[in-house]
A and B are shown apart, each in its own frame.
Chain A
Amino acid sequence: MIEEDIEADQGDLRVDGRRPLELRRIHVRMGVFGQADGSAYIEHGKTKILAAVYGPHQPKGTGRSKLSKAIVNCQYSIAVFSFTSGERKRKPRGDRKSQERSLELRRAMEAIIHLELHPRSQIDIFVEVLQVDGSDYCASVNAATLALIDAGIPIKNYAIGCTITLVNSSYTDGGEEGGVGSGVLDANFIEECAPGVTLSIVALPETNNDNVAKNSGLIVVAQGAGQRLHLSLLESLKQRALLGCQDIKTILDRAVRHHLTIHSLPSLCNVTLD
């Protein structure tokens, strides 16, 4: 009966006061670590992610490097204290969920990095989740993208992650209109734990204005969690998630330009003088 209270009491507002297509406040900082080649810190509401990038450097292990392109090594780590509730995680990495997230993060990063430019080398990406309040995987993809930009590694486009959640699962089997209208973007922890469907999408948003109406991005990694979803609802959920990806890309784009103008202005002046 909790989910009925979510929709019924406040009109179309959510528990934290947002509308269905509204994102949480995103706060971005780049270059937080001096030792790493690139680093970024991102906040999606109360979800806090740290990402660090090392490389491209020589592969440490023997016999693991490729002759034609670089190797991407990802490590996804959830801190012991990171859950909003009082429970403690037993170990931050090495369990099945972290390994699965690391594999999906590596697949997303391999899609955007120009791997053929760095043959016989290795790029290490470390992601640490400091606080979990829903959508932690998508926030970690955004943080890793910003860390790659900070490291100066050539990438094709931003990899933007966004979640979409079907809140009223009891109406899913019934009418379609009720299901379509209740998809919400950027789910927080309460909405993720509710008995619904959460779809996490990592996309490369298309920057061409011509194709916005047709398909607004190339989906790299998609994963679902929760209960069953009718196939007719998948397309509309996907389109809504891609709209969220476009909004997040605008926010990250503004943050990157802000970082470029502020932190690198003396070197830019030197460039201009040359």
Chain B
Amino acid sequence: MDEDKALNICVPGQRLCASDKVVIPGAGTYEEQGYIYSKVAGVVKFITEENTRIIEVQGITEQSIVPAPGDIVTAMVTIVNQRFCKCNIKCIGDVVLTRPYKGMLWKEDVCAIDKDKVEMYKSYRPGDIILARVLPMTEAHTYQLSTAENELGVAIAHSEEGVAMIPISWTQMQCPKTLYKEYRKVAKVVPEHVIAEY
């Protein structure tokens, strides 16, 4: 029970202290009518800076992560069109999302050079796993993605035989079983066994 006394547990709506120039509300709190209240249920923390003291409430329940502009995401291509392709965002960096988010990759954002000569069917196929960067959101319900970098593009692709294809250049991938070559916008990803050698 000593631990209960050491930790300042608070509930939403609980008034923490008065708000002035010294005490500033931080994350998990809000200010209303001169007082600082808690927004989530958790532990009260005080962060002392030079002249101020920030009150934060650290919630216990981990909230779901939402993709932010500039994040590198891992997505799976679902629909390929002449002008764009639709994806399901599976991971943000190293964090696997609890639920997939919908993303859209326009034709102009596939490659940095020769934007007019890009053909969508030679860059992506449904079922490919791609690495992309999140652009600032312009539409209401989808995330805009971009692969206009060398390290972004198709990371995993399967051939018609169902075998994972090996990249042979930045525009082509080859099936190790049938030796058939297919066009993709290949990501410059260092394989894991090469990393293990270094």
Residues of A within 8 A of B (CB): 37-38, 55-59, 62-65, 67, 114, 120-121, 149-158, 204, 207-208, 253, 256-257, 260-261, 264-265, 267-269, 271-272
A37 touches B64 (CB 8 A): yes
Residues of B within 8 A of A (CB): 3-4, 6-7, 9, 11-15, 28, 30, 32, 37, 39-43, 58-64, 66, 99, 101-102, 137, 140-141
B140 touches A65 (CB 8 A): yes
**In the complex, what residues of B have CB within 8 A of residue A67's CB?**
140
CB within 8 A of A154: which of B12, B32, B60, B99? B12
| B contact patch SS | loop
**In the complex, what residues of B have CB within 8 A of residue A154's CB?**
12, 28, 30, 39-40
> Nearest Cβ distance between residue A253 and chain B, in whole angstroms?
6
Quick one: closest A residue to B11, CB to CB? A256
Quick one: closest A residue to B15, CB to CB? A207
A156 touches B12 (CB 8 A): yes
B99 touches A157 (CB 8 A): no
B11 touches A257 (CB 8 A): yes
* Complex: A261 Cα to B7 Cα, angstroms: 10
Quick one: closest B residue to A204, CB to CB? B13
**In the complex, what residues of A have CB within 8 A of residue B14's CB?**
207
A208 touches B15 (CB 8 A): yes
* Complex: A54 Cα to B174 Cα, angstroms: 43
* Complex: A38 Cα to B63 Cα, angstroms: 10
B13 touches A155 (CB 8 A): yes
B61 touches A150 (CB 8 A): yes
A114 touches B39 (CB 8 A): yes
**In the complex, what residues of A have CB within 8 A of residue B101's CB?**
58
A152 touches B62 (CB 8 A): yes
B99 touches A155 (CB 8 A): no
> Nearest Cβ distance between residue B45 and chain A, in whole angstroms?
8
B11 touches A151 (CB 8 A): no
Provide 24 A-B residue pairs closer than 8 Å at the C-beta atoms, listed in order of the A residue: A56-B66, A58-B102, A58-B141, A64-B141, A65-B140, A114-B39, A120-B140, A120-B141, A121-B66, A153-B40, A155-B13, A156-B12, A156-B37, A157-B13, A158-B13, A256-B41, A260-B9, A260-B11, A260-B41, A260-B60, A264-B60, A267-B60, A268-B7, A272-B7
